[in-house]
Amino acid sequence: MLYDRRGGSTVARENALSVYISKIKAEQKPLERLSKLAKDRDRSMNYLIVEAILEYLDREEKKT
Evaluate whether residue 14 is within a structural domain. no
Evaluate whether residue 28 is within a structural domain. yes
Ranges under pLDDT 50 in the chain: 1
Please give the pLDDT value at position 53: 96
Evaluate whether residue 61 is within a structural domain. yes
Please give the pLDDT value at position 10: 61
**34 neighbors 45 (Cβ within 8 angstroms):** yes
Q: What is the DSSP letter of 45?
A: H
Domain that holds residue 35: 21-64
Evaluate whether residue 9 is within a structural domain. no
Into how many domains does the chain fold?
1
Evaluate whether residue 35 is within a structural domain. yes
Whole-angstrom distance, CA of residue 16 vs CA of residue 59: 23
Evaluate whether residue 1 is within a structural domain. no
Evaluate whether residue 45 is within a structural domain. yes
Cα 48–52–57 angle (5° rounding)?
Answer: 150
User: What is the value of pTM for the model shown?
Assistant: 0.73
Please give the pLDDT value at position 1: 47
Beta-bridge mates of residue 9 = 6
